[in-house]
Amino acid sequence: MIIQMERILIIEDEEKIARFVELELIYEGYQVEKAYNGRDGLELCKAQPFDLILLDIMLPGLNGIEVLRRIRQFSDVPIILLTARDAVVDKVTGLDGGADDYITKPFAIEELLARIRVALRKKAGRNTYLDPKELTVGELKLDPMKREVHVKGKLVNLTKREFDLLEYLLKNKNIVLSRDTILQNVWGYDFSGGSNAVDVYIRYLRSKIEEPFGEKFIYTVHGVGYVIKDEE
């Protein structure tokens, strides 16, 4: 069984605080990355998926509000701001800028942990809210809420990975996806099994959703990857 640990990024220039929070979060079972300035934090956030970001406002160079603004251009990851006492303007600007919550320094670690749990729960709810609709291609229907797939009205049993892969392809219907992109989004950043895992699972999928039904949904784009599209 693979245990999916939630990944948290701490962007905080006070290294002592960053390390203290990191240790507490690791103890709680989270996976943690740190950045000591806004620019590094932003780069990390672009390069890897995180479930939550703790973002200090007072950072050298690129400040927290600016980092927040730039992250929101490509991600709706939950962000909790770490603010200095009495920095009311920062809090308002931060929340207006799309932060989910803030906590004032110095904070009790229990309070921070509680706020993290709330933000992560909200995130889980947010995903469900954003994607309740059925995904279809031809006579294939995928219901993300029930996690069911029907082809020509017949229920098809898929493993979790097969389902996730199919869902990802369907969400990106008509977009050619490289093996690496698929790996990162379906298997996750930490996966080290090599990109032929994608080919293997595409074969599994085809044997379940295409071959028994004489249908074709997944197309191989040689030298690139895969795409799901309506039959031409």
Chosen residue from 44, 58, 118, 197 binding Ca ion by CB under 5 A: 58
Write out the E strands in 22-78: 31-35, 52-56
Q: Which residues contact 32 (CB under 8 A, 6 or more apart)?
A: 7, 8, 9, 10, 22, 25, 26
For Ca ion, which is the closer residue by CB, 101 or 199?
A: 101
The answer to whether the CB of 57 falls within 8 A of the CB of 104 is no
Q: In this complex, which beta carbon is closest to Ca ion, that of residue 14 or of residue 101?
A: 14
Q: Does 162 bind Ca ion (CB under 5 A)?
A: no
Residue 62 CB burial class (10 angstroms; 0-12, 13-18, ≥19): middle
SS3 10: strand
CA 109 to chain centre: 25
Residue nearest to Ca ion (CB): 58
Contact call for residue 56 and Ca ion (CB under 5 A): yes
Span of 5-13, 119-127, 166-174, 180-188 interacting with Ca ion by CB under 5 A: 5-13
51-59, 73-81, 119-127, 174-182 -> range binding Ca ion (CB under 5 A): 51-59
Give the range of 12-20, 28-36, 91-99, 203-211 binding Ca ion by CB under 5 A. Answer: 12-20
State the minimum distance, in angstroms, from the CB of residue 151 to Ca ion: 54
Q: Which residues bind Ca ion (CB under 5 A)?
A: 13, 56, 58
